């Protein structure tokens, strides 16, 4: 591994597996670009890659990973690969098919972490991530219970297709229902998290149950809404001041803040310099008061509202309760 890679701390999950605290997000990384991005990231020391069937680029991600393994740059057991099952694959037997589909695209025999991408089962069709009716309303499948999806995830793990299982975009009650009705506690809940959405209550709740939080959209850039009058976290004075103090990028401060709270982070970038800067941040530590200053920026502002096509009308819409 490179010098950077050896300095990236791990989080130990509740099933004993270990996850690098920083990974590379691959959402909205287009085919033709993402393959080179992953190559650059591996050279920079990334060993954690966050993927999903929904991103429609797993074939390219997998190609870069397999090439790096072939070329001796990294071993498979040094990597931590995550993928996710989209809500149109929640029906009986379909999470297994989705997992196998991702494995085929990645060209790998197993992933390290499989997540339920969203807790809102949609109509079970193969060829449309957002099945809708003639009015544009998302079509739901309310016959599907999340606990049944979770129990199939348990079997997928037993079958060796994934090392660990978890959830994404679940609220505390939805996770509690899984815990009470199964023998497995999710290892991770992957959620939107950034200085405007610190997720402090959900973080504390998950920690009390041995669940790690992973932050996507750590710079508040990806989502379903774009508030033009919302200042980027990278332009917040306190973030800029800390970046200047420590001689790093503003993005690095936002990411460092997360890791010091015990949150894993999956920033994305297509720029070599930013890819390197986003991971090379373990030679300094924010003070407790600086961490608190960033915590205090929270205003519970969510960029990914999960409201497109009326999905917020779903009985399992996760943002109907505070956390």
Question: What CATH code is carried by the domain that includes residue 224?
Answer: 3.20.20.100
Q: pTM score, two decimals?
A: 0.96
Task: Give a yes or no: residue 99 inside a domain.
Answer: yes
Q: How confident is the model at residue 4 (pLDDT cuts 50, 70, 90)?
A: low
Task: Give a yes or no: residue 204 inside a domain.
Answer: yes
Averaged pLDDT score across all residues of the chain: 94
Task: Give a yes or no: residue 317 inside a domain.
Answer: no
Residue span of the structural domain in which 184 resides: 3-312
Helix (H) or strand (E) holding 95: helix 94-106
Q: Using CA atoms, how far apart are residues 83 and 161, in angstroms rounded to an integer?
A: 11
The crossing angle, in degrees rounded to 10, of helices 288-295 and 250-260 is 100
| pLDDT, tens digit, 9 for 90 and up, residues 210-251 | 999 999 999 987 655 555 567 889 999 999 999 999 999 999
Task: Give a yes or no: residue 268 inside a domain.
Answer: yes
Q: How are beta strands 10-12 and 18-20 bridged, if at all?
A: antiparallel
Q: Is the separation of the CB atoms in 153 and 182 below 8 Å?
A: no
Per-residue pLDDT at 6:
46
Task: Give a yes or no: residue 319 inside a domain.
Answer: no
Task: Give a yes or no: residue 293 inside a domain.
Answer: yes
Smallest CA-to-CA distance from 86 within 120, 132, 113 is with: 120
Q: Is the separation of the CB atoms in 117 and 95 below 8 Å?
A: no
Average pLDDT of span 103-129: 98
- Number of domains within the chain: 1
Per-residue pLDDT at 223:
59
Q: Under DSSP, is residue 166 helix (H, G, I), strand (E, B) or coil? A: strand
Using only C-alpha atoms, what is the Rg of the chain? 19
Smallest CA-to-CA distance from 217 within 243, 242, 197 is with: 197
55 is an active site residue: yes
Q: How are beta strands 80-85 and 48-50 bridged, if at all?
A: parallel
Task: Give a yes or no: residue 183 inside a domain.
Answer: yes
Quickly list H helices, 30-71: 34-44, 58-70
Average pLDDT of span 241-270: 96
The catalytically annotated residue of 27, 46, 55, 196 is: 55
Helix (H) or strand (E) holding 215: strand 212-216
């Amino acid at each position: 591994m490179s010098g950077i890679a050896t300095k990236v701390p791990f989080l130990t999950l509740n099933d004993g597996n270990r996850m690098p605290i920083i990974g590379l997000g691959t959402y909205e990384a287009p085919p033709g670009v993402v393959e080179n991005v992953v190559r650059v990231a591996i050279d920079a020391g990334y060993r954690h890659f966050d993927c999903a069937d929904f991103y429609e680029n797993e074939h390219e991600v997998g190609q870069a990973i397999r090439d790096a393994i072939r070329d001796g740059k990294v071993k498979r057991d040094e990597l931590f690969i995550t993928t996710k099952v989209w809500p149109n694959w929640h029906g009986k037997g379909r999470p297994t098919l989705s997992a196998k589909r991702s494995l085929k695209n990645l060209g790998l025999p197993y992933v390290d972490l499989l997540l339920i991408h969203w807790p809102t089962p949609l109509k079970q069709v193969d060829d449309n991530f957002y099945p809708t009716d003639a009015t544009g309303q998302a079509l739901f499948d309310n016959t599907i219970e999340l606990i049944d999806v979770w129990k199939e995830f348990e079997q997928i793990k037993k079958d060796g297709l994934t090392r660990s299982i978890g959830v994404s975009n679940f609220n505390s009650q939805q996770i509690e229902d899984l815990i009470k009705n199964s023998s497995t506690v999710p290892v991770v809940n992957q959620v939107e998290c950034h200085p405007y959405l610190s997720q402090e209550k959900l973080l504390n709740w998950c920690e009390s149950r041995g669940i790690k939080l992973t932050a996507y959209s750590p710079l508040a850039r990806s989502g379903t809404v774009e508030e033009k009058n919302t200042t980027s976290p990278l332009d917040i004075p306190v973030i800029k001041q800390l970046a200047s103090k420590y001689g790093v990028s503003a993005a690095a401060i936002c990411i460092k803040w997360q890791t010091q709270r015990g949150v894993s982070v999956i920033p994305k970038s297509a720029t070599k310099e930013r890819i390197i800067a986003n991971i090379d941040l373990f030679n300094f530590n924010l003070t407790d008061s600086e961490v608190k200053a960033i915590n205090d920026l929270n205003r519970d502002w969510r960029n990914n509202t999960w409201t497109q096509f009326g999905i917020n009308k779903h009985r399992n819409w996760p943002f109907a309760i505070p956390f």
